[in-house]
Amino acid sequence: MNHATAVADNRYWLERQRSLEFELMKARERQCSLKRAAGAPDLMAAAPAEGESDGWMLTYLDLITVLLVMVMAMLAQALIQRHVPTQASVRLPAVAELTRVESPGALLRVPPLVVPTEPAAVEPEPVAPAVTPEVPANPLADLPLEQLGSDIEVIRHERTVSFRIDSSLLFPSGQTDLDPQGMQVLQRLAGVLKGLPQRIVVAGHTDTRTIRNDRYPSNWELSGARAGSVVRFLQQQGIAGARLMAVGLADTQPLADNASAEGRARNRRVELTLEQREAL
């Protein structure tokens, strides 16, 4: 229903309401005049019987009242159906103007329209962006290996880095005391390892030739003593003792065949393994 049609319907029902109210008022006036005439002494003989005058008039008044109520109900229904809480809500002032015309009477009052208000839009709470945990950089990836020189062999694994040194560079044959050349090699290595927090495992290795003397009954004691000498020197160079561990492995992890002199020389070594996890 558009605006013009709704206004025309409202005016029609209002005019119809006024007409019925006017007719009802006239009917009541006629009834009152007949009652006054029936009560006058000089008109008693000409007045009709009370039952005849009141019966049809009461029926007529009831009919007019019912019609008036129906018209007012239809008018109220038209006003209610016309309200749509969308774009038509901007045309409500036109309906208000119709309801402010002359009062149609006190028999029935049109209830005021209640315009429902749309709930205020609730803004969604901002969602904090997911925090991706930072992956700590691998401290073993950027070691200054160029400072070590060619005397130290570097072996990289997934989680460790090993530094392999020939025993002949560190110790005299069959001895466990570091010679000056070996100290220089370890000084360069200590300068690289000093600034790192990882634990360092120092392992001594020998070939399969058996050593038997009062100081070192077997290769186990020899390999362990050499590892201990390296650990003590690294600690003197400023590396914390809690990061260091000495292990003697004797001839249990050979790199080459002990049948040849070259193989035995390769197996006699000290390996320092820098673990990726930090020391406790």
Distance CA 185, CA 170 (A): 8
C-alpha 140/C-alpha 45 separation (Å) is 134
Buried b (16+ CB within 10 A) or exposed e, 5-18: ebbebbeebbebbb
Answer whether 14's CB lies under 8 Å from 104's CB: yes
Q: What per-residue confidence (pLDDT) applies to 85?
A: 54
Q: Is 140 exposed, middle or buried (0-12, 13-18, 19+ CB in 10 A)?
A: middle
Q: What is the token pair recorded at 17? A: 């309401």
What phi and psi, each to the nearest 5 degrees, are found at residue 215?
A: -85, -40
Q: Which residues contact 169 (CB under 8 A, 6 or more apart)?
A: 151, 181, 182, 185
Tokens describing residue 246: 């000495």
Q: What is the pLDDT of residue 7?
A: 62
Amino acid type, 140: L
Residue 244's CB: how many other CB atoms inside 10 A?
21
- The secondary structure of residue 267, as a DSSP letter, is H
- The pair of structure tokens assigned to 179 is 């010679």
Residues of the chain falling short of pLDDT 70:
1-7, 10, 38-58, 79-123, 127-142, 276-280
pTM above 0.75, yes or no: no
Beta bridge partners of 274: 161, 200
Paired tokens of 168: 């002949």
160-166: strand order across its sheet? 153-156, 160-166, 269-278, 198-205, 244-250
CB atoms within 10 A of CB 146: 7
**Phi, psi of 140, deg, nearest 5:** -90, -5
Where do we find the tokens 């119809």? 16
Query: Using CA atoms, how far apart are residues 208 and 222, in angstroms rounded to an integer?
Result: 12
